[in-house]
Structure 1
Amino acid sequence: MVIIKLSKEIENKHENYFKDKILPKLIDSKLKKHNYKVKKEEAHRIHMDVNILRKVFRTQHNGFIDFIENNYIDFAIGKPKTLKDLHEQIKKSFPIIYEMLKESSSSEKEDSYNNYLYNLFGYEKFKVKDLYYYVKKMAEEATGKDRYCKEVREKIVEILKSNYPKLKHEINNRLMINQRKLSADEFAEEFKKLTDINITMDNFNEIDIFGTEWSDYAFVMESGLRVCPYCNRQYITPVFSDSGKMRADLDHFLPKSRYPYFSMSLYNLIPVCKSCNQSLKGSKESGFNDINPYEDNLDDYFTFKADVFTSEISIEKVKGKTKDISLHTDKFKIEPLYNYHRNQVDELIRKRIAYPDKYIKKLFDDNRDYFKDENEIKQLLIGYIHDKSKLNDEAFLKLRRDIAEQLGFINGKQDDMLIEQLKKIITKI
């Protein structure tokens, strides 16, 4: 629930992808044979004669594409504030385009201008290929060959065995088969039966599996996000293999139905859990003024509080913030969903009783060789991370940190009266 920071390497890869894969299609759309033909219904919706609209539309569309081409870096890797500026320029400079997109955003027709533009940007093609493709490409580059052959086959086996030493026996049995020569199709088929060859966040950099190729899985892996930035409840750690794969949803913060020209903007793609994206957000739209995890620390906007008698969890807004956190917490049902986890509050209350400050100090004094300070002892015992910048690393870290602070574990002296009160509550329970 802290600001998501993407690396320069991610930005560079996405910018190059945009330039190489998206721009050419956008530029081609200016050619007559690829140009969009305005529908009568669209002219009717924006209150224009269809013949007049068709005449002015092509000029505006081509100018719009020129605008994207001249500002493609901002469209590719512009931060949220930059995307807002681009949107305002589009609204001002291309009013026909703006109105057509606004009016057609609610249309599900595949032949609408909105869908036409969305397809030009090609989000649906921003997909990973199979694992065999990437390993084979690595082997081809290493051997200087451009197709499957004995050298490529042997290099594939070498790559697999060096990265998965525990699977050497299975790799040999499937891919070498007593040194029998396998055809390209047979080899690919046997490769895909290696069910334990998995790529995760922890090993994809070591293998450098994606190389310079960019895709949805490469982005999620590179982002390093392990927990949903919207809720901090669900893990979104990916796994990629030929026997099964799973990744976070990529939420279009600004909906692609309304802003197809931002459908492939890096800072409009947020790795989140499926519950938040598909079940809770659904068709609810976010806007430029909403809290955005690429520019806002959600942790700065609210604090979890617990009723020590009932363990009920509530949200306390931080005063003085210009954006309304309730839009976020209501959309993603933060408070009711977190109340399924009152057991975590019960656990922290019992630990507050079991580990008074003097005991924590004694533990540290007795183990100075293993811990640098008392905070490390607390983190181990209580299950939170003292460093707020790491709240996105594990599920429920914000909840546990906020409640630990409420109970006096963090940033405060022990409240003996509170502990006695907690003892009485636990005894009654």
Structure 2
Amino acid sequence: MNKINLSENLKLKSMLKKHKNKYTKEYMIDRFNKHSKLIWNDIDKFPIGERLQKKRRYELFIKYLKVKIEDIIAGNPEKLQTIIEHVETNFKSLPFRSSDRIGSSEEQTNLYKQLITIFNYKGFCKADKWGAYELTKALDAIVCPYCDQQYIHTHCDEALNMRATLDHFYDKGTYPFLSISFYNLIPSCYFCNSIIKYTKAFTIKTHLHPYLHGFEDHLRFKVKFRKNRGEKEEIDYTKILEADPKTFTIGFESNPSSNKEICKLARRNIHDLKIREVYRVHKDYVSEIIYKSVVYNEAFVASLFNTHPKLFTNEEEITRIVLGNYVNLDDQGKRVLSKLARDIARQFKLTDRLSFPHNGKLIRRRSLRSK
């Protein structure tokens, strides 16, 4: 999983300002006052002895959401987590979720329906000004941060309109009042959003949040070769090139120097987003990297520099050309499978060969000549 790049502070402030300007406190309070009347129709569905108490709980719940409306709209993931914990502690018995029912009724509750109306996510998706298209365009996400294997870039013109789907990190069916929260909208691919993650319960205490963390170097892809008991681990390159599933497996290893809690959360992401399962199809890509680790030795790489003196200006360029992908952490998310490429290339020392010491000397001499 890749962290969503919000390193440009001014860009983030601009997006948050647009979001807060669209959903001002006054505007949202007005929506509460306009659409909350039908909520009270739920009260008559409860047993007579519970109605007065339920009415009071409903009133306190609505009051709490109004008080916290600014944090709900633009609060960071930690603030959203605090709101959820307060709601779960004080209002858990209220039927505000999509799956909740009152008594024997098969209909969704008025409380849930009106919260969906007040926090109008469908309207956000259709909006011409500051809506789903503007958000995904401003975030400039190219690759799904959850799986790193699907392109999700936004394109808008007369010929074609397309964008990433927006996953709700905190499921909007469970927490409808977070359906338009800025930090709850994660640009993602259709498969991660609607098939794999879907309505699974994610929180920042159980999973990594893409606005806060990525796998980075905390957790790394690792190739493990299969061997029978007592056999030496000899690499059969013919089978590797054919991506023979019996030759190796793609797994993960934790970085011993990384924060253990982050590694623990990352493994939950791997499990619940089915990363192991979906990455089995990429064995051919991994096998090519393993082959390159043998073919591109130091002498071969040095010859590339010497043969094409005007083509390469730094080590990162030749690394990207050889791998066909980015390897720097800051560039993760610019191309699909960049995390996989970086980790496997490092495991087999390919990145070391592509950036061995005298490459730097060649580049410096070349730079001095150009002056």
Q: What is the TM-score normalised by the length of structure 2?
A: 0.77
Q: Which residue of 2 aligns with 1:195?
A: none
**Aligned mates of 1:32, 1:75 — CA distance in 2:** 18
Q: Secondary structure at the match of 1:312?
A: strand
Equivalent residue number for residue 64 of structure 1: 64
CA 41–360 in structure 1, closer or farther in 2 if over 3 Å, else same: farther
- 8 Å CA contact 2:31, 2:118 repeated in 1: no
- In the alignment, which residue of structure 2 is the partner of 1:338? 279
How far has the Cα of 1:336 moved from its partner?
A: 2.1
The 2-side partners of 1:379 and 1:341 are apart by 19
Contact 1:121/1:263 (CA < 8 Å) preserved in 2? yes
Distance 2:297 2:35 in 1: 76
For residues 24-423 of structure 1, the aligned pairs below 5 Å read: 24-30=27-33, 34=37, 36-39=39-42, 43=46, 49-54=50-55, 56-57=56-57, 59-69=59-69, 72=70, 74-90=71-87, 95-96=90-91, 98-101=92-95, 105-107=99-101, 109-128=107-126, 213-241=129-157, 244-289=160-205, 290-306=207-223, 307=225, 309=236, 310-319=247-256, 320-322=259-261, 323-411=264-352
Pick the structure with greater CA Rg. 1
The runs of 5 or more residues in structure 1 that have no matched partner are: 130-209, 416-429
Paired amino acid for 1:87:
I
CA offsets 1:53-72 (integer angstroms, 9 cap, x no match): 22x14541452243134xx1
The change in CA–CA distance for 1:366 and 1:348 in structure 2 (over 3 A counts) is: same
In structure 1, C-alpha distance between the alignment counterparts of 2:76 and 2:60, rounded to whole Å: 26
- Asked if structure 2 preserves the Cα contact closer than 8 Å seen for 1:361 and 1:374, the reply is no
CA distance in 2, matches of 1:78, 1:259: 15
One-letter code aligned to 1:315: F
Q: CA deviation at 1:410?
A: 1.9
CA distance in 2, matches of 1:400, 1:65: 45
**Structure 2: how far apart are the matches of 1:222 and 1:339?**
33
Distance 1:64 1:48, change over 3 A: farther
Equivalent residue for 2:367? none
User: Following TM superposition, by how much is the alpha carbon of 1:407 offset from its aligned partner in structure 2, in angstroms?
Assistant: 1.2
How many residues of Structure 1 are paired with residues of Structure 2 in the alignment? 322
Q: Distance in 2 between matches of 1:379 and 1:272?
A: 25
Q: What does residue 15 of structure 2 align with?
A: 10
Equivalent position SS for 1:394: coil
Question: Does the 8 A contact of 1:30 with 1:65 survive in 2?
Answer: no
Partners of 1:305 and 1:406 within 8 A in 2:
yes
Counterpart contact for 1:26–1:65, Cα < 8 Å:
no
1:377 and 1:305 mapped to 2: Cα distance?
23
- Distance in 1 of aligned mates of 2:45 and 2:178: 22
Deviations 1:222-260 (A, max 9, x none): 111111100001111223345553221100000112212
Cα distance change of structure 1 residues 362 and 240 upon mapping to structure 2, 3 Å threshold: same
Query: Counterpart of 1:175?
Result: none
In structure 2, C-alpha distance between the alignment counterparts of 1:269 and 1:356, rounded to whole Å: 45
Instruction: Give CA-to-partner distance per residue, 1:258-291, whole Å, 9 cap, x none.
Output: 2122111111000100111111112222123121
Change (3 A) 1:88 1:285: closer
Provide, for residues 310-352 of structure 1, a one-character-per-residue CA deviation record: whole Å limited to 9, x for no partner: 2432222345521332321122221122111111122112222
Indicate how the Cα distance of structure 1 residues 226 and 33 shifts in structure 2: closer, same or farther if over 3 A, else same.
closer
CA distance in 1, matches of 2:204, 2:49: 29
How far apart are the structure 2 equivalents of 1:413 and 1:278? 40
3-state DSSP of counterpart to 1:227: coil
Scaled by the length of structure 1, what TM-score is found? 0.67
What amino acid is the match of 2:119?
F
Distance 2:186 2:36 in 1: 35
How far, CA to CA, are the matches of 1:215 and 1:76 in structure 2?
Answer: 13
**CA displacement, residues 171-226 of structure 1 (integer Å, 9 cap, x when unaligned):** xxxxxxxxxxxxxxxxxxxxxxxxxxxxxxxxxxxxxxx6xx20111111111111
Q: Distance in 1 between matches of 2:36 and 2:95?
A: 22
The equivalent of 1:422 in structure 2 is none
Q: Distance in 1 between matches of 2:49 and 2:168?
A: 31
Judge conservation of contact 1:101–1:258 (CA < 8 Å) in 2. Answer: no
Structure 2 unaligned regions, length at least 5: 7-11, 226-234, 237-246, 357-371
Residues of 1 paired with 2:143 and 2:35: CA distance? 47
Contact residue 38 and residue 110 of structure 2 kept, 8 A: no
Of 399-408 and 325-334, deviating more is 325-334
Change (3 A) 1:359 1:305: same
Q: CA deviation at 1:366?
A: 3.8
Q: Judging changes above 3 Å, is the alpha-carbon distance between structure 1 residues 85 and 412 closer, same or farther for their aligned structure 2 residues?
A: farther
